[in-house]
A and B are shown apart, each in its own frame.
Chain A
Amino acid sequence: RKEVEQDPGPFNVPEGATVAFNCTYSNSASQSFFWYRQDCRKEPKLLMSVYSSGNEDGRFTAQLNRASQYISLLIRDSKLSDSATYLCVVNDSNDYKLSFGAGTTVTVRA
């Protein structure tokens, strides 16, 4: 079983729509959670950390559900520029190694 699993999508949404997707993780002892964004054939970049209480960054909202071992990302008022692959990332310990999901692809159409 993979440590981090994501629905690969693609999620095809019109501009202005809301899109949400989840990621599940297998290690109940996982400590830190992140969403990274990766544009086609480019390097991943940190989008946001995910905190236990949930957090927002502009149009992006991340939630953590430790009981069910999943995190979610919601994108509100989608823009064309939001088209990318979103990587779910988990840290299982304090040694700064990260486990990456395979990514969820979002395509926003005009």
Chain B
Amino acid sequence: DADVTQTPRNRITKTGKRIMLECSQTKGHDRMYWYRQDPGLGLRLIYYSFDVKDINKGEISDGYSVSRQAQAKFSLSLESAIPNQTALYFCATSDPRGAYEQFFGPGTRLTVL
């Protein structure tokens, strides 16, 4: 079984809809991240969490919110989706003892029409 899982893997939705992307991990890592990837732009950090009570904005948090329900679960919400949020979304985890290596989930491909 994969260590970092994301659901759904693909989603098509309409402008204005609320969407939740979920991430679960079995690696036992405290640190979790949400990124989006757009062609030609690389991965950009949306939100990150260093433990259950710690949530921080990344470089592009506008239009997104997150919830860290447990050490193993970190959800990303789009309260009112818009077309420019169409992207590939990755969740990642890291261990503070692990010299910065991040472990990524398989990604969620989101299309907002």
Contacts and interface: CB of A to CB of B under 8 A. Distances in A.
Interface of A: 2, 4, 8, 32, 34, 41-46, 49, 87, 91, 96-98, 100-103
Given A96-B31, A97-B48, A98-B102, A44 B43 contact: yes
- Cβ-closest 7 pairs across A and B: A43-B104, A102-B42, A100-B43, A100-B42, A46-B101, A91-B100, A101-B42
Interface band, chain B: 20 to 34
B42 A32 contact: no
A2 B38 CA distance: 14
B12 interface: no
B90 A32 contact: no
A96 B102 CA distance: 9
14 contacts: A4-B42, A34-B101, A41-B88, A42-B107, A43-B90, A43-B104, A44-B43, A46-B102, A49-B99, A96-B31, A97-B45, A97-B58, A98-B100, A98-B102
Contacts of A87: 42-43
Nearest to B50: A96
A41 B90 CA distance: 11
B25 interface: no
Contacts of A91: 100
Nearest to A34: B100
Contacts of B94: 96
A102 B36 CA distance: 12
Contacts of B58: 97
